Amino acid sequence: MFGQMPGLARGTTASPPCSASCWQRAIHCCSSPLLRRSALLVARSGKRRLQSEKQSTDSPPASTGGPEAKGAREQRRSPTETASSTPSEPVASKQPVWRWEESQDALKAYGLFLGVLAIGVIPGLRELRFVELPYFVGLAALTIYIGAHRGLSTKIRQQITLEQGALAPVAASVALFGGYLLIKFFPDLNLQTLLNAYFWFIGSVAVAGALGAPLRNALGPLGEPSFELHLPEGILSGDDGEPVTSALIAPSDVLVILLSFAAASLDLAANHTNFTLNNLLACLIATDILQLLGLKSFKAAAVMLVGLLAYDVFWVFGSPAVVGDNVMLTVATSNILTGPTRLLFPRYFGSVGEASGFPFSLLGLGDIAVPGLLACLALRYDASRATDMRARAAAAAQAFTTAIAALKPDATSNQIADATASAADAAYDNVAESEAEQRRRTEGTSTSGSTDTVFAASEAVMHQRTYFIPVMVAYVGGLGIAFAANSITHLGQPALLYLVPATFLAIFARASLRGEVRRVWDFSDTSAPLLNKLEKNKLRKAETKKKA
């Protein structure tokens, strides 16, 4: 339980000077060698802080845990009350929120992504046959990886329910066929100006959102907030739904804004034909989609992805027999409606096939985003099941030091041992119970009566990606099979025909091996209530303003 305490004790709050003797006496009162070692480390840390800080801080600890945990703490509280100078119980303070964007893994992922883009620029590489396969696979896989992990720390996400998933193929078909009719029968209708403005805006936002946190971490002092920017009310809102009227800006943020405007403007100036710039914006737009949009459950995923598989197959293979033209290919290779909606790579000289007249090999953004939604759901399932031993140890360490700070200088050894052990045990149990409650709510077995989300991903998921990694491997394999079919038949392929079965098979094969098929099938992402609550708060505030 205390395996992580040595590194975490140094970040705890300094104790009052009156408890200096307790730091030393705590060393001798611990009943177990492991707890004794933890107490020694905490005591040494406390002595260093007391020597460096003449005046101590006296901030009250944050209260955590539900009614059951609180009751358990009350039962273990009597030794603490007799030795403490105040009746307040020592509990763990709130731990910092983990954000993937601020991790070293994010820097590595973005570095690999930019590296793949840079490799594609090498002129000699384009003359190699089939080189577009590793290029597209690398960009697509990294796009899904980045989008899925960014979504872990996004509190407000729009979720796709079972009913919405069933309607997705219909909506996609209407949009696709509408675009086809515009291309076929209204070739002189110029909508490109409107599309250019739209893609310039969302492209700029996508680049800024992707590069903001990594550059802050990479640029050191230049990433530290140094001035405050005041914003008009109503432009931005925080995770709690409240309007944001000011923001702390770092020099790196200014650089990010300039880079985002430059990338979107250069792509616009090239009319979306510079494949590197186009691919940069397309992939980052896809990461935004995966970050902000998610599937509610694996049931919704099955309905939507199977429906979109049928949509993809029909509009590629079936549309020539119905309308006399390959609708999907016509829209994808059109120069009338263009934008960063597909990945491009210069076509190999002498290649043959349906789209041999188009200068680029291409991969539709839907072939990344649709399977990517399933990968995101798999990662969120992993996060909901992850056991964060570091958070448990940190909570126990904080409660341990808080308990010592609350003791009277003349507390006996038994009182010190009882108080610290009781506090650490209760704090540890609070975190464990929170994780268990998170699992129960995603399985629909919670008896708490609350519908509020408790989803909070921790760094522990990076070491427990039980379902996400198989889905990613299956995605790469499915995409490879789709490209092989294209090379053999020289016909455009509905990539979802290969990607959807491959990714679903990976999930349920893993679930079968672990005996978790029913648990996976019943899983439900519990993030939606937070979004619903924020929407209700906004409506309530709007009604209040009207009445006023």
Residue 129 has pLDDT above 60, yes or no: yes
Most confident of 5-9, 239-243, 322-326: 322-326
Please indicate, yes or no, whether residues 274 and 397 belong to a single structural domain of this protein. Answer: no
Please indicate, yes or no, whether residues 451 and 502 belong to a single structural domain of this protein. Answer: no
Per-residue pLDDT tens for 61-74? 333 444 444 444 44
How far is 269 from 264, CA to CA, in rounded Å? 9
CB-based contacts of 48, cutoff 8 Å, min separation 6: none
Q: Where are the alpha helices (DSSP H) in 245-365?
A: 251-269, 275-292, 298-313, 319-323, 327-332
Per-residue pLDDT tens for 28-60? 444 444 444 444 444 444 444 444 443 433 343
Last residue of a domain, one of 408, 423, 456: 456
Nearest to 343 by CA among 265, 423, 288, 278: 278
Work out the mean pLDDT of the chain and round it to a whole number: 77
Please indicate, yes or no, whether residues 201 and 300 belong to a single structural domain of this protein. Answer: yes
Please indicate, yes or no, whether residues 129 and 274 belong to a single structural domain of this protein. Answer: yes
Domain range for 29: 5-89+387-456
Q: Is residue 318 in some structural domain?
A: yes
How far is 350 from 314, CA to CA, in rounded Å? 29
Of the pLDDT bands very low, low, confident and very high (cuts 50, 70, 90), residue 467 is very high
Q: Give residue 429's pLDDT.
A: 64
Axis-axis angle for helices 468-489, 366-385 (nearest 10): 160
> Do residues 54 and 34 touch, judged by C-beta distance below 8 A?
no
Question: In this prediction, what percent of the chain has a pLDDT beyond 70?
Answer: 68
Residue 253 has pLDDT above 70, yes or no: yes
Q: Is residue 113 in some structural domain?
A: yes
Q: Give residue 189's pLDDT.
A: 78
Q: Is residue 55 in some structural domain?
A: yes
Residue 99 has pLDDT above 50, yes or no: yes
Q: Is residue 308 in some structural domain?
A: yes
Q: Give residue 116's pLDDT.
A: 95
Of the pLDDT bands very low, low, confident and very high (cuts 50, 70, 90), residue 385 is confident
Please indicate, yes or no, whether residues 234 and 374 belong to a single structural domain of this protein. Answer: yes
Q: Is residue 274 in some structural domain?
A: yes
Please indicate, yes or no, whether residues 46 and 150 belong to a single structural domain of this protein. Answer: no
Please indicate, yes or no, whether residues 76 and 197 belong to a single structural domain of this protein. Answer: no
Please indicate, yes or no, whether residues 173 and 85 belong to a single structural domain of this protein. Answer: no
Most confident of 7-11, 151-155, 370-374: 370-374
| Side-chain half-sphere CA neighbours of 229 within 13 A | 11
Please indicate, yes or no, whether residues 468 and 494 belong to a single structural domain of this protein. Answer: yes
Please indicate, yes or no, whether residues 138 and 124 belong to a single structural domain of this protein. Answer: yes
Residue 324 has pLDDT above 90, yes or no: no
Please indicate, yes or no, whether residues 330 and 232 belong to a single structural domain of this protein. Answer: yes
Q: Compare 166 and 433 and report the one with higher pLDDT.
A: 166
Please indicate, yes or no, whether residues 40 and 170 belong to a single structural domain of this protein. Answer: no
Q: Is residue 287 in some structural domain?
A: yes
Last residue of a domain, one of 423, 456, 489: 456
Most confident of 64-78, 95-109, 160-174, 182-196: 160-174
Q: Is residue 94 in some structural domain?
A: no
**Residue by residue, what is the 3-state secondary structure of 42-69?**
HHHHHHHHHHHCCCCCCCCCCCCCCHHH
Q: Give residue 434's pLDDT.
A: 67
User: Domains in the chain: how many in total?
Assistant: 2
Q: Give residue 247's pLDDT.
A: 78
Q: Is residue 95 in some structural domain?
A: no
Last residue of a domain, one of 406, 425, 456: 456
Q: Give residue 90's pLDDT.
A: 35
Q: Which residues of 27-45 are buried (b: 16+ CB within 10 A; e: fewer)?
A: bebbeeeebbebbbbbbbb
Per-residue pLDDT tens for 500-533? 999 999 999 999 999 999 999 988 887 655 555 5
Q: Give residue 355's pLDDT.
A: 64
Range from 68-77, 201-210, 419-428 carrying the lowest mean pLDDT: 68-77
Write down the pTM of the prediction. Answer: 0.74
Q: Give residue 145's pLDDT.
A: 97
* Terminal C-alpha separation, the chain: 54
**What are the distances in angstroms from CA 494 to CA 273, 309, 365, 478?**
23, 8, 12, 11
Q: Give residue 459's pLDDT.
A: 78
Q: Give residue 61's pLDDT.
A: 37
